[in-house]
Amino acid sequence: MRLFRFFVPAALLLSAVSCSGKSSQGAPPEVDEASATRVRRMTRAEYDNSINAVLPTTPPLVMTYAFAPEDTILGFSTHDRLQVTALLADQIDVAANNLAEYGKNQLRADWTCSADVPELECAERFIRGIATKAYRRPVTDEDVADLLALWQEARKGTDPGTAARVVLQGIFSSASFLYRTELGAEGAAANTVVRLTPHEVAAALAFAITAGPADAELLAAAEAGQLDSPDEREKHARRLLATPAAQKHLYRFVEEWLGITGQANLTKNNQVFPAFSAAFKVSSQSETRAFINHILTERNGSVRELLDADYTYADARMAYFYGTQPSMPDGTLGRLPLPPERAGILTHASVLATYALFDSSSPIRRGKFIMHRLLCREVPPPPATISIIPPEPVLDRTTRERFAAHTNNPTCAGCHRTLDPIGFGFEDFDGLGKHRTEENGLAVDASGAVELASGSVPFTGAAALARVLATSEDVGNCVPLQLFRFAMGRDESAVDEHMLTDMRASFRANPEWRLGDALVGLVRSPYFVHRRTSSPE
């Protein structure tokens, strides 16, 4: 039974504007412009984390395991255009029912009444406590009245445990649980800049850093009206950045930013790449996962070290593939010095294989990867009249020669003039990420150039490019922008330039370029806590 038609926009907005809490409404705003107010659906990760805040130790199979996968915009699944399709609505109903059954038992002490307490008084106390956690804000009397009516209806002819289950099902399928609001206090005039409510600020900060709701300390700061202070917001941001939840969230960012979330589905032609196997795929992915986690947990999320580290964490299979001697037993991961032709994550076999073709390398894919992901430059699609089918491998030419002939069409030159020199610089690695100096008996030419704001920078080989990018101001500008898109769940607009300036200044303040510092710059910005209300229709 679907208890709430949470995907009906009118019902959603009525629920959303009921947020309450201490507010700076009426005080002069710190900014004269801001992004628009909005209501956004939680992602699957945010849903799971929100459930765990209400029902700790909930088994994963009870949550979003079977939910439809999320689409991506600008490479990120955290965007605010996520919808509730008919399929997802049914899946949420099933999850809410399962969660309610599990929660009824886990929360028995909360809804069970002693003989000397009226049942409705006990039920109201239970509802207020659970709904406040689930809705991430103080509940209104209207919220409580609706849920109490649901309790009373379910109680007819049944026991209190059944009523508790029905109430929990209603909470977990309601708009107030499934959607996050950034609306400010109720009653603001149209087309004005308003400050978010304290609980909205707490939620925005927590979700940006941990993909989950505010914890007890952050909620206490919201209740005390302390989150108006950028120093206070920074204090909580840095505290949360040290938690496993933040490191897991940042790991997801790095994966989506670099476009390597689909590695489990990677396939290669075994006749061309005999080293490729299911075991190789596991080893190469494990290497990249361990290296990213090391950077996040031990190196404070240093982007420079992510790009130009002279070591990795790999097993013996990857050590032999890289041409070095393993220092660890078979099947275990250990710190491995990289040979000079490799540097950082861009030369991981898993990344190089991702940005390659089934049977060869791909200068175009690798060049576009750098342009789009690390330099934040859009590459327009080719004209409809141009064939985008890559040239077939041949035995009398190198990949560089084949692709150069393919992309020399004058119609393509505008894009490929900057794209190809980057991709050709990766030609010292084949389509599986194996280093090479020859291809088809011919010498490999891995010379390239990358266009930066400071001018064209020549390089030879992917490791040299990684070292160039690790000190490039272009990358220093791009990474905070990518993190903004991920954390804020939307693409940038002109009004966000001030917030991006704050993020970039904080990011660059430390020579290591730490991801957490960019997030601190985000939450400190006054533009983070302000929104502009909608204009009247």
Q: What is the pLDDT of residue 28?
A: 47
- The closest of 295, 336, 317, 516 to 434, measured between CA atoms, is 317
pLDDT at residue 325 in the model: 86
Beta bridge partners of 181: 39
Both tokens of 157, joined, read 């002819």
> Can you name the residues that pair with 194 across neighbouring β-strands?
531
pLDDT for the residue 209 = 98
The Cα angle at residue 437 between residues 432 and 440, in degrees rounded to 5? 75
CA pair distance 456, 453, nearest whole angstrom: 8
DSSP codes of every residue in 230-285: HHHHHHHHHHHHTSHHHHHHHHHHHHHHHT-TTGGG----TTT-TT--HHHHHHHH
Residues 6+ apart with CB under 8 A from 436: 428, 429, 430, 444
19/5 Cα distance (integer angstroms)? 19
**Nearest-10 Cα torsion for 29, 35, 39, 44:** -120
Q: Give residue 6's pLDDT.
A: 38
- From first to last of the 537 residues of the chain, give the pLDDT tens digit: 444 433 333 333 333 333 333 334 444 457 889 999 999 999 999 999 999 999 998 887 777 778 888 999 999 999 999 999 999 999 999 999 999 999 999 999 999 988 889 999 999 999 999 999 999 999 999 999 999 999 999 999 899 999 999 999 999 999 999 999 999 998 889 999 999 999 999 999 999 999 999 999 999 999 999 999 999 999 999 999 999 999 999 999 999 999 999 998 999 999 999 999 999 999 999 999 999 999 999 999 999 999 999 999 999 999 999 999 887 777 799 999 999 999 999 999 999 999 999 999 999 999 999 999 999 998 877 666 666 666 677 777 898 888 776 566 665 555 667 889 999 999 999 999 999 999 999 999 999 999 999 999 999 999 999 999 999 999 999 999 999 999 999 999 999 999 999 999 999 999 999 999 999 999 999 999 999 998 776
Tokens coding 164: 């508790």
How many whole angstroms separate alpha carbon 217 and alpha carbon 65? 30
What ranges do the domains of the chain cover?
A: 1-23+40-181, 194-242+492-537, 252-469
Label residues 408-429 b or e (16+ Cβ within 10 Å = b).
eeeebeebbebbbbbbbbbbbb
DSSP 532: E
Please give the pLDDT value at position 259: 97
Taking a C-beta distance cutoff of 8 angstroms, is the pair 180, 487 a contact?
A: no
